[in-house]
Amino acid sequence: MALKRAAKDKKNWTDRPKDVSFVISSLPDIEAKTPGLRGKVDFARIGVAGHSFGAYTAMATAGAKPDLESHLTDLRDDRPIAFIALSPQGEAEFVGL
């Protein structure tokens, strides 16, 4: 139920891809503060994957432009090089939310 409410909140449609970009930007700090990760993060090979609403997030991060507020919104992050969208929504899935 909470996920359904989250999907209806259009703010999440822009915030979720921005959260992915924030995490990617934070990776150097995360690596530096986590002894087990030091030297193991390959910043040139970042991937993003998601299921259902997460699939939307992955696709928006990859460059899909959702129609939010009657205009296409570019939420792409050029740093990831691989994307997996598991069970993505169809084109009209969010209509009327």
At residue 93, the pLDDT reads 58
91: in domain: no
Q: Which domain holds residue 13?
A: 2-86
What digits encode the pLDDT tens for the residues 45-81?
999 999 988 999 999 999 998 887 778 889 999 999 9
Distance, CA of 58 to CA of 42 (rounded, Å): 19
Q: Report yes or no on 60 lying in a domain.
A: yes
Look at the chain and report how many structural domains it folds into: 1
Note whether residue 26 is domain-resident. yes
Assess whether pLDDT exceeds 50 at residue 96: no
73-95 tens-digit pLDDT? 899 999 999 999 999 987 655 54
- 83 and 57 Cβ atoms separated by less than 8 Å: no
Residue 19 burial (CB count, 10 A): 13
44: in domain: yes
